Structure 1
Amino acid sequence: MRSQHAPTTSWRRRRRSILMGLATTSAVALALSGCAGQGSGGGGDTNADGKIVLDFWNGFTGPDGPALEQVIADFNASQDEIEVKANIMPWDTLYQKVLTSVAAKDGPDIIAMSAARMPQFADEGLFLPLDDYYDDAAHDTAALAPAAVEASIYDGKNYGVPVNFTPMMMYYNKDLFSAAGLDPEAPPTTWDEFAAMVPQLTVDENGDGKPEQYAIALGDHETVPIFPSLLWGTGGSIVSDDGATSTLGDPESIEALDFWVSLVRDQKASPIGLNGADADKLFQTGKAAIEIVGPWMTTGFDEAGLNFGLAKPFAGPGGENVLADVVAMGLPSNASDDVKNAAYEFFAYWNSAEGQITWSSGSGFPPTRADVADQVTESPYPAIFGAADVVDSAQVLLPGIAAGGPILETVFTPALQRALNGEGTVEEIFTAASDQVQAELDK
C-alpha cells in the first residue's frame, strides 16, 4: 500500500477551479442550516469543521478494500472542504438497499456498482446523468480508458464515472498441476485443452462421487458472471448487439452451454452451486486447480501462500473473449448541487494520476488511465491484468441494457442451475429461458 502523499500542482489547479462553485453553495447551505446542513441521499451533511460529508456506498469487501480506503484518506487529506466516508457492504446487499434508500431520500451520496447494473437503476430514474462531468476539461477524462467510460452509458447518457476497469484472468495452482503430471508453466489455452486436463485435475480419491479436488472453481450464482461470458467462446450470447432480441436459444449459445454444463455436471470439473465467495475459497484452500476471477483476489491468494500463475482465460472455438468488469460511481437523482459538486471533485481525484497510482499499487487493478501504468511499480499485477493483448480481447457483459440485471438474476442463473442439476436438457431449458429473456427486453 502506498503511503499518503500530497497532491501535485496540477491537481491543486484542477481542485481550485472545481471548488469555486462548491464553496458558494456550501456557504449558503451553512448559513441556512446553522452548520448542520442537510443535502440529499445520505445527507451531504456538514461536520463540526464545516466540511461537507459524502456517504460513499460500495462493495469492496475483499482484499482490495484497504486500497480504496487509502485513496479516500488521501483525498480527504488533500483539501479541507469535503470528507468522504466509505460505507462498505456486500454487493448483493448494496443492490437490495439502493432501490429503497434512494427512493426514501435517506441513502448514499455516492454509489459504486457494476456499470452493467447502472442502466437498470437509471431506467427507474434513480441516477443522475453525469455527462456534464465529462464535458468539463478540468476533470481530465480524456485520459481514461474508453471502455471504462462507455460501460455506464445508457440511452445516450452516461450515468457513471469509473472506479476500475479490469479483465478477468485465469489463476492456476502450479503445485496441483505438477501433482497431476501437467506442466506447471503450461496452463490450458483452449476449451479443448482444459477439457483434456479435467480427468487429471479432478480427484475423487475414495470414489464416492464427491471429489476432494476440482479442476476449476466455477461459480454459478452471486458471482462475477464468468459462466454467462463463456457463451462468447462459440459466438453465442444472451442478447443481440442492439439489445432488442434474445439470443440465448441460438445454436451457438446452446453449443457453449452444452459443453460447460457437461463438464461440470457429468465430469465434475467444478462443484455445482458455488457462489463467488465459495469459488474463491475453493481455490484459495488448494481444492481447485483453476479459477477465473479479477485482481482483487491476488492479495488473498498471496497471503494464503499459493504457488499460482496467471494467464489469459482459455479461448473457445470461436476465438478469444475475456470478460471485463467495470465498477462505476454514480449519484442518486435527488442529489443537490453541493453534493454533486463535491462528488465531482472526489471523482476527479480518484481518476487522477495520484489516485490511480495509489489504487493500482494497493489493489492490483490496472489503472483507469494508461498514462500512469509505468509508474505503478509496487505490484506486478496491474501490468498483467492491463496487458494490451488481454485488454484488446476484453468486453463487458450486457452493457447498456436496463433489463440486464433481472435477466441474469431471474432468468439465466435459475436456468443454469436447473441444467446443472439435471432437471432437463440444456436445449429445453435454455430455449424456454430465451423466451423469458425476450419478455424482459419487451417490457
Structure 2
Amino acid sequence: MMQHSRWHLGRRRRALLATGATVAAASLILAGCASSSAAPSAGGLGTAEDPVEITLLSNDAYASQWQDQLVPEFQKEFPNIKVTIDGVPYNDQLAKNMLELSGTRPAYDVVMADDNWIPQMASTGGLVDLQGEVDQWTFEDYDWDDFYSAPLAAGEWDGVQYGVPARSNMLMMLYNKSHFDAAGLDYPDENTTWDEFMQMMPALVQDLDGDGATDAWGVGTYFVRDSLTPTIWQTIMDSNGGAILNEDGEPELGKKAVEALKIHASLLDFAPPGAKSWQFTEPLEGFRQGKIATMFNWGSVYRGSAVDPTTTTLTADQVGITTLPHGTETPGAHRGVWSLALNKKSENLEAAWTFVQWMTSKKGEAWQVENLGVFPARVSTLEADAPTDWLEPVYYALDVAWRAVEDGEMWRPRLVESDAVQQILADYTGEVIPGNMPADEAVNKMTKEITDLVG
C-alpha cells in the first residue's frame, strides 16, 4: 500500500460521486452479480463460423493504438468478436457522436465521450444504462466499487451510469529535475503552494549552457484560445475552493476566478517567447527537448516525456511528476476521463458490452497500464505494485490527484450545455492571457453569458 500525502481531504460535497457509487452498489445487488459464464447463448458473442462484428467510434489519438495492440489482446479471450475502431479528430468527435446517437441507423456500437460530454450525449436518449439494461451480461468480477469515484462519475448523468472510464487522464505537473538542480531549488511536490511555485519561477529562467543567452524557461502550458486552456485556471480556482457552477447549476464565478485567471496569465512571464500561442503540442515538445523546467499538461504524456527514447531527450531519472501547486484547500488537479458508452440502437449489445468490460476490467486496465502507459482509474491497480520502476512515482502522484479531484470537484462543468459553457470560458480566457481584457471584466462577461445559456 502506498503512502499518502500530508494534506487533508473531506472538505466539499460528494453528492454527485456518491450517487454514482450508490447506483453501482444497488445495481450489483439487483443483478445478482451475473457472471460472464452465465450470459445468454454463445450466439451473442459469435462463433468461429459466424463471428460478431462491432465498431467503436474513438478519438483518433487512441484509435490506431487500440486497433493494433489492444484488440488482438482482447481477441485472445474472445476470438469470435471482431472489433473495428474508427478514429475521428477531437474537434469533430462530439458532433459525430450526437449524430450517431440521434440517428435511426447506427454505424457504431460503442461511442467514446470526453469528460464533459456524457450529459449532452445522454440527452439524445441513445445511451444504454450500464447498470440496468445490460446486467445479464455483466461479468461477476467486474467490480464497479473498485473504481475511484471521480473517474467513474465522468460517465454518470442524472443518476444513471452511461459510461465507464476507458482512458483516464489528469492535468498534472511534470518537472525537469536538472533545471531545479541548476537553480539550487528543491523539487516541487503536492504540498508546494502557488506562492512558493511563483517564487521559484524567476530562478528557473536560466542560461544553462553558459553562452550568455537564456535557453531554459520556468513553465510551459496552454495559453491560446482553446477549450482546454481554461482548465489551467479552473484548476487554480478549484484548489482554492472556487467553482464554475454552484450546487444549483448556476454560475459561481467571482473573486477566486479573477485571481486564478491572473495567475494563469502571469505564467507567460516565465514561458518561452511566443508561448501565448501554445496549446497541447508546443509545451510538450519544449519540455521533451529540455527547454522548460515545469509543464502543466495531461499526465499521460509522462511515458513519452520520460521513458520512450523515440519521443524524448529526457530520462525517467530526470523527470518528476506531481500535482499542480497546492491552493488553500487541495493540491491542484483536473480530471480528464474518456468514457466508453453503448449505443442503444446497437444490434450487438452483448458483444459490445463484453469488449468494453474487458477493456475497463481489472485485468484489462492492468494490461493497458503496463503496455500502453494508460493512467488507471481503479483503486486495485494503484494499490498494487507498479509493474515497472518508472510507474512508481506516477502511481503515487495519480493517487494523490484522484483524491484531490474528488475533494475539490475538479472537472469541467457537468450539464447538457457543458461544451458550450467551456467555449465561453475559452473565449474570454483568450482575451485575458494576451492582455486584451482585464480578468475581472472577463469573469463578469463569462458569468452573464453562462447565465443566459443555462437559464
If the TM-score is normalised by the length of the shorter chain, which range does it land in? 0.7 to 0.9
The equivalent residue for 1:41 is: none
One-letter code of the match for 1:219?
Answer: Y
Q: Per-residue CA shift, 1:352-387, capped at 9, x if unaligned? A: 332122111123334333234425413532663455
Q: How many residues align?
A: 397
The equivalent residue for 1:380 is: 390
Change (3 A) 1:69 1:14: farther
Q: Per-residue CA shift, 1:103-126, capped at 9, x if unaligned? A: 443542211222322112212334
State how far apart, in whole Å, the 2-side matches of 1:24 and 1:177 are.
57
* Structure 2 residue 234 is matched with structure 1 residue 228: yes
State how far apart, in whole Å, the 2-side matches of 1:26 and 1:51 are.
4
The equivalent residue for 1:245 is: 250
The equivalent residue for 1:428 is: 441
State how far apart, in whole Å, the 1-side matches of 2:449 and 2:218 are.
32
Change (3 A) 1:378 1:178: closer
The equivalent residue for 1:7 is: none
Q: Per-residue CA shift, 1:389-433, capped at 9, x if unaligned? A: 333212441363222211112x00010010112222110111111
State how far apart, in whole Å, the 2-side matches of 1:293 and 1:382 are.
19
One-letter code of the match for 2:74?
Answer: F
State how far apart, in whole Å, the 2-side matches of 1:241 and 1:291 are.
32
Aligned residues of 2:227 and 2:426 also touching (Cα < 8 A): no
Query: Equivalent residues in 2 for 1:239-318 (5 A)?
Result: 239-242=245-248, 244-248=249-253, 250-264=254-268, 268=271, 271-301=275-305, 302=307, 303=309, 304-306=312-314, 307-318=318-329
The equivalent residue for 1:113 is: 113
One-letter code of the match for 2:53?
Answer: V
For the residue of structure 2 that corresponds to 1:192, the secondary structure is helix
State how far apart, in whole Å, the 1-side matches of 2:392 and 2:171 are.
12
Change (3 A) 1:93 1:202: farther
**Among candidates 412, 429, 436, match of residue 416 of structure 1:** 429
Change (3 A) 1:399 1:52: farther
Aligned residues of 1:231 and 1:253 also touching (Cα < 8 A): yes
Aligned residues of 2:58 and 2:86 also touching (Cα < 8 A): yes
State how far apart, in whole Å, the 1-side matches of 2:319 and 2:67 are.
25
* Structure 2 residue 389 is matched with structure 1 residue 369: no
The equivalent residue for 1:156 is: 159
State how far apart, in whole Å, the 2-side matches of 1:294 and 1:371 are.
22
Taking only aligned residues, the RMSD between alpha carbons, in angstroms, comes to 3.2
State how far apart, in whole Å, the 2-side matches of 1:334 and 1:101 are.
10
State how far apart, in whole Å, the 1-side matches of 2:219 and 2:171 are.
15
Q: Per-residue CA shift, 1:85-141, capped at 9, x if unaligned? A: 222343223224323344443542211222322112212334333232685563432
Aligned residues of 2:233 and 2:260 also touching (Cα < 8 A): no
TM-score by length of 1: 0.79
For the residue of structure 1 that corresponds to 2:112, the secondary structure is strand
The equivalent residue for 2:177 is: 174
For the residue of structure 2 that corresponds to 1:88, the secondary structure is strand
Query: Equivalent residues in 2 for 1:35-46 (5 A)?
Result: none
TM-score by length of 2: 0.77
Aligned residues of 1:296 and 1:363 also touching (Cα < 8 A): no
Q: Per-residue CA shift, 1:311-342, capped at 9, x if unaligned? A: 23211234324212222101234223xx2111
The equivalent residue for 1:43 is: none
One-letter code of the match for 1:61?
Answer: A
For the residue of structure 2 that corresponds to 1:215, the secondary structure is strand
Question: Between the two proteins, what is the percent identity of the paired residues?
Answer: 18
Q: Per-residue CA shift, 1:141-177, capped at 9, x if unaligned? A: 2333332222221122121022144443310012222
Displacement of 1:297: 1.1
Change (3 A) 1:168 1:259: closer
* Structure 2 residue 91 is matched with structure 1 residue 92: yes
One-letter code of the match for 2:292?
Answer: A
One-letter code of the match for 2:165?
Answer: P
